[in-house]
Structures are given as structure tokens and as C-alpha cells.
Amino acid sequence: MEGNRDEIIKKDFKRRSLYEIMKECNEQTIADRILYLEKKLKFITKCPEYENSYFQRSLGNFKKELKKKWENASRKEDRFLATNEQWLNGSVSLIMWENITPKAGRPPKEFGDLSERSKRRKTQDLRAQASSVELTYAAQMSQRSDGNIDVSKIIKDITLTPTRASKIRKVISSSQKCIVKKHSPSQALSIFVEADLTRKQYEIIQICNKNIYPCYSLIQTAKKDCYPKEEAICVTEVCAEIKLQELLDHTCERLCKYLEEVLDSFSETETELELLCKCGCDGSHQSQFKQKFETGVPASDSHIFQSSFVPVRLVTSNKDRKIIWQNPVPSSTRYCRPIRIRFLHESNDITNEEINYVESQASNLNKTIIKTSLGSTFKISHTLVPTMVDGKVCLAATNTASTMRCYLCGETSKNFNKLENLKEVKPDALRFGLSVLHARIRCFESLLYVSYKLPVKKWQIRSFEEKTIIAETKRKIQEGFKGELGLLIDIPKAGFGNTNDGNTSRRFFENPEISSRITGINIELILRVKVVLEAISSGHAINVEKFAFYTRKTAELYVELYGWYPMSPTLHKILLHGATVISHAILPIGQLSEEAAEARNKHFRLYRKIFLGNLQE
């Protein structure tokens, strides 16, 4: 300590008074409050900057004990004050620097402010008296006592092995070198599509980061590589279609280009591959625009009808069926590839025509031959399953006239609850899957319609009094969901459809206690239906025997509770035939959902409305 030691005057500060000074700080953490206390005490004691280290040592024990006691009190002030009453009544002695006469001449510097030469001279005696091991350990303990735990641990790690220091040094030096790698056109195109950028937005980003993003003309070239050959595409005013063989060939080429490194590692016995895909068709209502067709074809753009397919899995054709590629998002529109789009209203005849159109092309497909850069040749066969369909398409394809009849077994709704008289499933109908996306909505509506008629417990209502009771029950249920979950239940929407969508049904099953209380439906039944729906939509393989047992018990519970109200066709299909359909599916049933095709309808509306394809070009 610099100055005349005969003039040193110490002053005792009560620990309680120091704690009261800390409480003046608005910060919440103990570290910030201690820092505030240090600043106040430096001002009170008139501590000069060059004596800062001595001041820190004088206050060190108090800070250490305070932190420990504060943690032991779980950072609760009342508990801290109650358990440390005696300690707080003690005192801490600090020097009052205002009465110390400093030495004449230039004031000393802090050690950190000294030059390298001065530091070596000042520590020469210390280095001569102690070994490097002692000095390193002393530095470790000194940093630990000052609260620099991370610095202390690093010093300890460095001394463990001789090579540890060089490894840490290499990591630090490599992290300081910022290596910027330029995106390839394909990578930039992926960013462009995923971020939904316009050409103008991308060009602004590219100008500011030319060393990262390629110019837009290269993206256009990469985008054209994503399309099949132009001669395979036919576009007219009322129809756009592409040959299925060329579309599958192009899909395989793109996949194999992505998987080239994996394919080159295969043996000569694994050159036969198989691409498993799901396909289907669906109709959608569209906005009718103010335009006429130049060709004079009698058509309307108020509806579209489209067929599409999604690649799901690429496997080897041998007995092992080794999975080479698995679609990470089989229900996303990112992999949904249109086959044909037409301005047509969906009907049974149109549906059957489209199914026959796709199946006739699928039956005449040739294997796709792919050659890698290293000379390996692969032959890829194609398997398409028509599972991207809704109930309307299934009824049309199986020539089922009534919506209240099961297209799988042909049974009518009046016999759905007769579990002992279950009919055999038509083998040809198993190929359409379970329509997983619509199943959740239909099961939700089935339980909802049962709840409307709980007061009268009748399926068919004819009298005016009973209709009035049901209308009042429906109103109360709608108000209950609106008030508790903010859901609009069973309300018509302007244009088409109602508010019973996928999000509404999902919220219904996510809150079984509330849904049961509002509707009066048995909570166990709601939970069991929820488990079944989550199982079939999970995308994982399902244990068919356990699934059959669980769904059978669920059907028996439904009949026991609500035998007076026949199951809906969807409930009947899932609970009584679901296990059979799953056992015949070539892929996990959740991966065969029709969600990708349904979401494509929304995109098609958007493309027509704002000409998104032209803007991105």
C-alpha cells in the first residue's frame, strides 16, 4: 500500500449497514448489488484507483460470506435476515484514504497497465523464488477466490496434460478465422423457395452479400433443372398435365443426384431399387375470374380437379428392403408433384376417369435407369398406392352410392353398431387407406352430433319439441366452446364449408376434460378416440394386433354408451376395419395421408390469384 502508514485510519462498518446500502440498488442479482456496494464504499473511503486491489482484498471475505449465506437462504430476504442476525451485527474494517498522504512523485500504476518490461522486472523475484507449477496453482486459486471460476477451470485444464494447451489454442485461433463459403445455386434456390422470397428481395440480399449468394441468373438455371423436359408437359386453357413416366424419371434423377455418395457405396447385388409413392386425386372450389376461354371450350374456372403423387421411400428390391431414402415430411406440399390439373367440377364420373387415367399410366411404367458419376448403374421400379384421397373419392371409386354406407364392407349405417355381424372387407377397397387427415375431423363431428341428441337419445328426430330441445342443446355447446376454448363449432362459412376444420378438431381432442364437460360425451371415449387418431397419424409402424384389440374395445364402449346412435362411417371404418387396412399397407399408414394434396389446393388458389410463378421468374 502506497502512502504514509503512520497516518492510516480505519473505520468499522456494520455488516447490516453494508447490506442496507446494497438494497438501494435496483438490480435483482446479488452480484450486481455487490458491485453497487463497492462503488459506494470507494466513494465513502476515498479509495484511489491505484489502491483498488488492496480495497478488493479488504472487502473479499465479506463478499464471499455474503454470497454463501444468500444462497443458503435460497435468495429470500426474510430468511436471510432471520438466519444471519448475529453475523449482520458484526463489522468490517476499511481504510479511510482521505487522511493518507501519498508519496511524492508519479503515482504508481496498476499491474495490468504496466508495460511488458515492467511486468517482467516486477515479477522477477517472485519467479525466482517459486516453480512454474507453484505459480500456476497459485494463479488458479487466486482466480477462484476472486470469483473467476471459468478462468480457474481453464488454468486447471491446461495443466492436466501437456497437449491440452495446444489444443485449446488451436480451437481459439480457428474460431477467430471466419471462413465464408459461397452457397451453390441449388442451396441458394432452396433458401429462395423456403423463405418465399421475390426476385427483388433476393437481389437486394445478394447485392449486400455477393461473397455468399450467387446471382439470380444462376438460380433461374438451377430452377429449370428442377423441371422435367418441356416436351413431357402439355398446357392448355383448361388443362395442364405431364406424362407420369417422365415425371417419375425426373424425380428419380433428382433423388439419385442427392444420394450419389450413398449409392456409390452399394455392392453390385444392390442395383435394383424401388420407389414407393402415394398418389390420389381431389377436387376444390376456386374463385371464378373475369376471363373467357379463347378456344370456345364450354368450361368454368370455378372448380379444379387435380391428381398428384408424393415420393415416400426409396428401398432396395432384394429381401432386405434396405431403406435408402425416407421422405422426412410425407404430408408436406414440398414433395407433392402434380400429374394433371383441370378446370372441372368433381363428380363420380370425373373421379373414376381420373383414377383410370393415372392407373393406366402406372401399369405401363418402365424402370428408370440411373448412372452415377462413378459409373454405377441402377434400375428403379415404381409402386404407386392411391391413398391421397378423401371419403368422396373412395365412394366414387368403389361405386358406393350412399355416404352412410361403408365402402370397405358395404354395410349400411343402421348395422354399424352390430359388432357381432361384421362383414368381410372388399380386397380392392383396401388400397385407399384410411384418409388420415379427414378422419380427425369426421370423428370429432361424430361425437359432436351425438352430444346434440343426448337429451332425447334418438338418432332420427321428427317431432317439433325434440327438434327444439336439440337446437337449444347445440346452442349451449357452441357457446361453451366459444367461451372456454375460443372455438367456433359447427357454424357455416361464407362460400362453402363450415368451421369444423382440422385445428378445431385438434383442440377438441387436446382438451378432453373440457370437451367432455361441455358436450356430455364420456371422457374415456374421447381419450380412446384421441389415442387411435394419434396412432394412425404418427407416421410410425403400428402393432396391428394391439391396435385391433384397442379399437375393438373402443367400439364396444361406444355401443355400450350410445348404442341408440349408429357410428359414423368414419368411426366404423377406423374402429372395425382400421387394423385390416393397416396390415395391408406397404408403408406406415400415417405416411400415406392425403394432407399434401389437400394443401396443394390452397397453393393453387394463391398461384392463380397473384401469379406467383410469374413473379418468381
Give 1's pLDDT tier (boundaries 50, 70, 90).
very low
- Residue of 435, 428, 393 whose CA lies nearest to 410: 428
> pLDDT digits over 367-378, tens only?
999 988 888 889
Which segment of 68-72, 79-83, 158-162 scores lowest on mean pLDDT? 158-162
Mean pLDDT of 133-154: 78
Same domain assignment for residues 160 and 50 = no
Residue 125 lies in a domain: no
> pLDDT digits over 392-427, tens only?
999 999 999 888 899 999 899 889 999 988 888 999
Same domain assignment for residues 54 and 194 = no
CB 589 within 8 A of CB 551: no
pLDDT, position 3: 46
pLDDT, position 163: 75
Residue 463 lies in a domain: yes
pLDDT, position 5: 43
Task: Name the grid cell of 303.
Answer: 372448380
Integer CA distances (angstroms), 68 to 64, 72, 82, in order: 6, 6, 15
Give the type of residue at 476.
Answer: K
- In sequence order, what are the beta bridge partners of 285? 303
Residue 303 lies in a domain: yes
Asked whether residue 594 carries a pLDDT value surpassing 80, the answer given is yes
Asked whether residue 617 carries a pLDDT value surpassing 60, the answer given is no
Same domain assignment for residues 218 and 265 = no
CB 576 within 8 A of CB 445: no
- Distance, CA of 444 to CA of 533 (rounded, Å): 10
Give the type of residue at 418.
Answer: K
Mean pLDDT of 220-247: 89
Same domain assignment for residues 295 and 339 = yes
> pLDDT digits over 482-523, tens only?
999 999 998 888 766 788 888 899 999 999 999 999 999 999
Same domain assignment for residues 461 and 318 = no
Same domain assignment for residues 244 and 137 = no
Q: Which domain holds residue 206?
A: 185-225
Residue 615 lies in a domain: no
More confident position, 589 or 612 = 589
Same domain assignment for residues 39 and 159 = no
For 121-271, list the strands marked E by DSSP.
Answer: 233-235, 239-242
pLDDT, position 603: 81
Q: What are phi and psi of 91, to 5 degrees?
A: -135, 165
Mean pLDDT of 101-110: 58
Give 616's pLDDT tier (boundaries 50, 70, 90).
very low
> pLDDT digits over 254-313, tens only?
999 888 888 888 887 788 999 999 999 999 888 888 777 777 667 788 888 999 999 999
Boundary residue ending a domain (356, 389, 422)? 389
Same domain assignment for residues 247 and 218 = no
- Distance, CA of 93 to CA of 500 (rounded, Å): 75
Asked whether residue 189 carries a pLDDT value surpassing 60, the answer given is yes
Give 31's pLDDT tier (boundaries 50, 70, 90).
confident
CA 287 remoteness from chain centre: 32
Cα dihedral: 186, 187, 191, 192 (round 10): -30
Give 554's pLDDT tier (boundaries 50, 70, 90).
very high
Q: How many domains does the chain have?
A: 5
pLDDT, position 545: 95
Residue 149 lies in a domain: yes
- Distance, CA of 513 to CA of 519 (rounded, Å): 10
> pLDDT digits over 435-456, tens only?
998 899 999 999 999 999 999 9
Give 6's pLDDT tier (boundaries 50, 70, 90).
very low
Give the type of residue at 305.
Answer: F
Say what percent of the chain tops pLDDT 90.
40
Q: How many CB atoms lie within 10 A of CB 205?
A: 16
Same domain assignment for residues 537 and 580 = yes
Which segment of 165-169, 191-195, 442-446, 583-587 scores lowest on mean pLDDT? 165-169
pLDDT, position 471: 93
Residue showing cell 390439373: 341
Same domain assignment for residues 239 and 319 = yes
- Distance, CA of 168 to CA of 580 (rounded, Å): 60
Q: What pTM was estimated for this model as a whole? A: 0.67
- Residue of 479, 477, 455 whose CA lies nearest to 466: 455
Integer CA distances (angstroms), 461 to 160, 454, 557, 565, 570, in order: 84, 12, 24, 12, 22
Mean pLDDT of the chain: 85
More confident position, 503 or 142 = 503
Residue 122 lies in a domain: no
More confident position, 527 or 144 = 527
Give 541's pLDDT tier (boundaries 50, 70, 90).
very high
Same domain assignment for residues 197 and 305 = no
Same domain assignment for residues 317 and 235 = yes
Q: Residue 474: in which H helix or E strand, if any? A: helix 464-484
Q: How many CB atoms lie within 10 A of CB 557?
A: 16
CB 236 within 8 A of CB 343: no
Asked whether residue 532 carries a pLDDT value surpassing 90, the answer given is yes
Give 246's pLDDT tier (boundaries 50, 70, 90).
very high
